[in-house]
Amino acid sequence: MERYVVSARKYRPVLFDTVVGQEHVTGTLKNAIRNKHVASAFLFTGPRGVGKTTCARILARTLNCENLNDDLSTCGECPSCKSFDDGHSLNIFELDAASNNSVEDIRNLIQQVQIAPQIGNKKVYIIDEVHMLSQQAFNAFLKTLEEPPSYAIFILATTEKHKILPTILSRCQVFDFRRITVTDIAKHLAEIAVKEGVVAEPLALHTIAQKADGGLRDALSIFDQLASFGGDKLTYADVVKNLNVLDHEHYFTITDNLLKRDAPGALMAFNDVLFQGFDGHLFVAGLARHFRDLLVSQDPRTIPLMEVGQELEARYADQAARITTDQLVTGLDRMSAVDTVYKSSKEPRLLVEVALIQLTRDWAGRSAAPVASTQPAIPAEKKKPDTALAAQQPAAITPVVMNVTPPQPVQTGTPVPAPTPERTGRRLASSVSIREHLAPSAKQEETIRLADVPGNEPERDDTKREINAALLQKSWNDYATARKHEGKNSLHATLTAYQPVITGQRTISLTIVNDVQENYMREERPTLLGYLRREMDMPLLELSVVKAEAKDLRPRYTPRDKFKIMADKNPALLTLRDQLDLEI
């Protein structure tokens, strides 16, 4: 049976020109070799799988090659290159600091440094995961790292630069490796797919590159896994299925539902995502990412910031043309707020659903292009003909008739009270409640259509609304949790010690027990009340703070009372008192 080699090792670069996405590092190293300005110590730092150890090996091989080409590529024929290819070069030493991190290991390394190379010009020591060295090992390594023999070169590699001692950093040339872009990874995977005889869809490779998160080694591992699943064919459907990633189609569908003010459709699409086994938090992050891509696709200057395949760019451009920038910013703000409190919420699914419903309300009347309305048409018998308004309004719009009270005669010298504006009983379309939005009545449908016409916005009336106890408790707990995350633990304890009580149609009350809680609530009440008004959509909501009277409910016992209680439980105490003639 032929030995299988994974792609990460089989296609590992052996020349500087074949390293992917690190041109700023390879170009500097090539110039240093060409000008013979190679330092004695290097530190390669960056995320995993971006080529740190690979560049260290290429640098070591290039320094020891006896017949370098004009482009600084190795010859592959000299004894040094052959020993390197066979894996037993005497001039290149690799040390894993994760398992060799003691002072004794560093002392053995220092002793080896004293031996000059037998073949080649340089002895290169590659120390991987150098941040795992102990404090004592770092200190023992300092002197040798600063003043090594002329033939010794040290290359340190790490993923956690902040753990390296400043004294070590000052003795090295530091090279920061970047995350490899999605485009570069997808292009490299396409080349490997051709070499392996795998027919891969460009969107499938692009999805693998996104999943790798900037690491080429991770991308190659995923590619091998999916190639084993699909054989000689790699499709986008197979990638989505095996990597457990959300298809872009879900986000396009939900965005269309939000534009159409179709809250039930958005909720059903979200339910389908959960039914497929995806985490709700992953959906929130993905939808925010979708809004971000739509936002950057609206301006030609920011289109390069998109990390999507060419097949999706057209779809993003089409949907972005139907959305305003304000809508996308509002969507990003909503998703950011949900992402912040998702893990601490007791009802995370309800949290996401409320956010989607709020987005349908926030996006109402702001569409960049006309969207087909899902509301039923007004019956003909309900339309009131008005020739004066017919020329200015569409036929399907019912004109609004305002009742104006004629002025009353006033006696001379009598102060005239300011007239009280009459409330119409209608509310703005942007203030539709959750219940009304999910099942709008005929009157609400008419209100929504009237609000779509500029100048016909009805006034808001909250006098008949009642406080939703469940929404009040959720909003209150979310506010308290947010204050706890800000480090205000005492305020969190004050808010959670007692739950607010509904005392009226638009009033709630909170009970406190001491002066400290009273001071906290005096400072926090305006902010808390504003938050509750926004979340509960009740601008007239009021909050009162009531201080309870301190009562000492503990009974006071005399010594004789205490003895009597003890004797009732254990009568032998009475015998003990009599026999020893004890007094209380």
**pLDDT digit string, tens, across residues 452-503:** 444 444 444 555 667 888 888 888 888 888 888 888 878 888 888 878 888 8
Q: Is residue 322 part of a domain?
A: yes
Same domain, 48 and 135: yes
Query: 289 CB contacts (<8 Å, ≥6 apart)?
Result: none
φ and ψ at 127, to 5 degrees?
Answer: -110, 105
Same domain, 219 and 309: no
The answer on pLDDT for 285 being more than 50 is yes
* Spatial contact of 364 and 261, defined as CB atoms under 8 Å apart: yes
Q: Is residue 368 part of a domain?
A: no
Which residues constitute the domain of residue 140?
7-176
Same domain, 88 and 11: yes
Please say which residue of 141, 158, 176 terminates a domain.
Answer: 176
Q: Is residue 259 part of a domain?
A: yes
Closest CA to 202 of 191, 186, 213, 188: 186
Same domain, 155 and 190: no
Same domain, 40 and 134: yes
Q: What is the mean pLDDT of residues 102-131?
A: 85
Same domain, 560 and 543: no
Same domain, 195 and 96: no
CATH number assigned to the domain comprising residue 122: 3.40.50.300
The answer on pLDDT for 564 being more than 60 is yes
Same domain, 186 and 168: no
Distance (Å) of CA 63 to CA 32, 51, 60: 11, 18, 5
Give, as one character, the DSSP assignment of residue 132: G
Q: Average the pLDDT over each of 163-177, 352-366, 367-381, 494-508 and give the range with the smallest value.
A: 367-381
Please say which residue of 315, 337, 362 terminates a domain.
Answer: 362
**How large a percentage of the chain has pLDDT more than 70?**
81
Q: What is the mean pLDDT of residues 82-90?
A: 79
Query: With bands split at pLDDT 50, 70 and 90, how would you rate the model's confidence at 380?
Result: very low
Render pLDDT for 396-416 as a digit per residue (tens, 0 to 9). 334 333 343 444 444 444 444
Same domain, 43 and 125: yes
Distance between CA 140 and CA 134 in Å, rounded? 10
Total domains present in the chain: 5
Render pLDDT for 1-36 as a digit per residue (tens, 0 to 9). 467 788 888 888 888 888 888 888 888 888 888 888
Encoded amino acid at 29, one letter: L
Q: Average the pLDDT over each of 113-117, 121-125, 228-232, 265-269 and give the range with the smallest value.
A: 228-232
Same domain, 233 and 268: no
The answer on pLDDT for 444 being more than 60 is no
- Region of residue 563 (left: phi > 0; alpha: psi -120 to 50; beta: else): alpha
Q: How far is CA 2 from the centre of its chain?
A: 44
Same domain, 125 and 52: yes
Torsion angle, CA of 127/132/137/140, rounded to 10 degrees? Answer: 50
Same domain, 310 and 209: no
Q: Is residue 447 part of a domain?
A: no
